[in-house]
Chain A
Amino acid sequence: MSDQNINQNDSGQINSYRRKFLAGLAGITAVVTVAPGILLRQVQAKPAGDAVTSKVRWGMLIDTNKLSDGGDACIAACKKEHGWGDEKLSRTAQDAQWIRKVKVTEKLTQHVTELPVMCQHCETAPCVDVCPTGASFKRDDGIVLVDKHICIGCRYCMMACPYKARSFIHETLIDQRPDTPRGKGTVESCNMCVNRVDAGKKPACVEAAPQAMLFGDLNDPKSDISKALKQFGGTQIRADLGLNTGVRYWGI
């Protein structure tokens, strides 16, 4: 009886070793097969508990020649994602605009270009420098945004931004999007869809104009955006200010 038990225990142990071995093998196979797909993806989901790292610098490349609508689709997607643009009481000049279509006509040649302009996610952001409370800040991954919970609404960042990318909320808002806290008396701007990026998705505007916009890690030389920028370069708006923007353009 006792021998039988021992034999049964032995065979049970062997079975359990076998199961673990097979499971391990399957695991390794899965990792080897799937990992490149995950690890080499342009956009990678960040586990919610993990801190943002400076190994990544998110950036955007916009080819204005391929934006047949000048960016209207991007603007619509941004509005839908973040819920701005339906202020009821504010005057036109007081309405928030996270992204806008700018028409540029060169004085000498009369050449016209249309492009979407939003927060350029500067490496050395003037809005971050001037903010007294640290509400205007840059994440380690290069995304510049406003912490609406500590913004005191002094608007100094709006004075400092060379791109006029920021808006102040002039009225009480209701029904905000869950992922986009907004509120009266605070400043806001494009946050590169930080909610989507952290979930491994692309910003709404990039999804709306995939033919003309690339989103990815500027620090990763193998990313599509880095390869494209290395090969063809990319223009910064007001490059003379030396802000090293995260948003680059073609065709301007």
Chain B
Amino acid sequence: MNKRITFSEVSGNRTFYAVLAGAALLIVMGFLSFLYMEHAGHHVTGMDNQVVWGVPHVFAIFLIVAASGAANIGSIGTVFGKKIYQPLGRLSLVTAVGLLIGGLLVLVLDLGHPDRLIVAMTYFNVKSIFTWNIILYSGFIGVMAVYLWTMMDRSKTVKKFYKPMGYVAFVWRIILTMGTGSIFGYLVARQYYDAAILAPLFIALSYVLGTAVYTLVLMASYKMAGRELGDTVLNRLRYTLAIFITAVLFFEVARHLTNLYATEHHGIEAYILTSGGFITFVFWIGQILLGTFAVLGLVWCRKLKNNRLALIAASILAIVGGLSLIYVTLIGGQSYPLVLFPNALVESSFADGTFNHYSSSMYEVLLGLGGVGVTVLVIFLATKVLSLLPDSLADSLADPHHK
């Protein structure tokens, strides 16, 4: 690590506390929504027996997948030895933990019986990806905590474990994201899932979301703390974002082309790509136009180099794109009817053969935003109590090749 870099806690000003207050407000709203949904039952939500996972799950998956990606910044520094990323590692791990806690809370609080969570923690059906995820998610927090310790502690004894922990965290992250992708990948019942490509797609997606969230957190923290943040660091993040977005696009194209080759998947492809109404709109406008090409344009347009507003816009759009991808996969995949009898029209009182409509309730959105609030609170509180941020990331300090 560059020796000239020093870390310190942020002092906290009015904007900082306003952000914390905003996060706390989101948490309160989310918690009240949870209480209401649990008390009344899920009939107050937009979810039903046809679309069983809704907006809370979109938020939860987004946060969890982004968590894995946010820690990637740390991995690049440790595992791949890229010096410029090393000062960014501490914040990266804390961002990852914050995202994961937020996502996990949303997921857990949407359960029909969150009070029985102890059952899930004491009984493990090893064939269930959910069981794996319970272990992977809780283990992630522990791994990140130890990794952060080895990153921050300067004693030689602890420093010995810095590199090995970097590798452990790197592998753990990849398995975690594969596990999240596999929630869908192993579902034989649904036309839009049941594809192994979802695992690598989710890994690539995690890098996009993690980098985007991290970029925003970094810029916000430095702006609030009044510390210097050079273009070199930001440009690295900018290009990292673009590369990962291309990777997601690659896997997405491969997924759709594979589906289009198999006749049995023509129906679902036609639904997602052309006739799915809002789902189709979210796919083309949210995921492809805004979330992919607009971001690539903002990153690679030469006139916008070193333009911070463009980077903020690119990061926000990348998040919009990722949320769209998750929404289309999750909601689109469920709104397309199950195929009980191929080559036949099917109807019943239980919505067989019909395209299921889903419209989220306010409570689901608030619960999801509550998770975002938790994430924001964890990250920014951590910057206040731990020495996570370098005092300066000016080009002269952060760039190992600066002359």
Contacts and interface: CB of A to CB of B under 8 A. Distances in A.
B112 A106 contact: no
B349 A97 contact: yes
A39 to B, nearest CB: 36
A166 B338 CA distance: 13
A129 B130 CA distance: 10
Nearest to A242: B188
Nearest to B42: A170
B105 interface: no
Contacts of A132: 120, 124-125, 128, 130-131, 134
Contacts of A162: 188-189, 338, 340
Interface in B355-385: 356
Contacts of B261: none
| Interface hub of A89, A93, A184 (most chain B Cβ within 10 A) | A93
Q: How large is the interface on B (under 10, 10 to 19, 20 to 34, 35 or more residues)?
A: 35 or more
Nearest to A153: B112
Interface in A173-196: 184-187
Nearest to B40: A171
A152 B116 contact: yes
Given A97-B350, A103-B346, A170 B48 contact: yes
B190 interface: yes
B116 A150 contact: yes
B345 interface: yes
A237 B183 CA distance: 24
A155 B41 contact: no
A100 to B, nearest CB: 4
Interface string B62-86: 0000000000000000000000000
A141 interface: no
A68 interface: no
A73 interface: no
B351 interface: yes
Contact of A106 (B41, B129, B344): B344
A170 B40 CA distance: 8
Interface stretch (B49-57, B152-160, B216-224): B49-57
Nearest to B189: A162
B335 to A, nearest CB: 11
| Interface hub of A89, A108, A155, A163 (most chain B Cβ within 10 A) | A155
B1 interface: no
B43 A90 contact: yes
B125 A168 contact: no
A172 B134 CA distance: 28
B348 A117 contact: yes
B403 interface: no
A126 interface: yes
B43 A89 contact: yes
A155 B48 contact: no
A43 interface: no
B266 to A, nearest CB: 14
Contacts of A237: 340-341
B301 interface: no
A161 B123 CA distance: 22
Interface in B110-160: 111-114, 116-117, 119-120, 123-125, 127-131, 134
A168 B51 CA distance: 11
Given A106-B343, A153-B111, A93 B120 contact: no
Given A97-B350, A130-B130, A186 B113 contact: yes
Contacts of B112: 151-155, 168-169, 184-187
A94 B49 CA distance: 5
A166 B189 CA distance: 13
A167 interface: yes
A206 to B, nearest CB: 20
Nearest to B38: A185
B190 A159 contact: yes
Interface string A98-111: 00111111111000
B61 to A, nearest CB: 13
A155 B52 contact: yes
Contact of B189 (A90, A102, A160): A160
Contact of B120 (A126, A133, A163, A184): A133
A100 B352 contact: yes
Contacts of B334: 159
A152 B189 contact: no
Nearest to B349: A100
B48 A91 contact: yes
A164 interface: yes
15 contacts: A90-B43, A97-B349, A104-B346, A108-B343, A131-B128, A133-B119, A134-B125, A150-B123, A152-B120, A154-B130, A160-B188, A162-B340, A169-B41, A171-B43, A185-B111
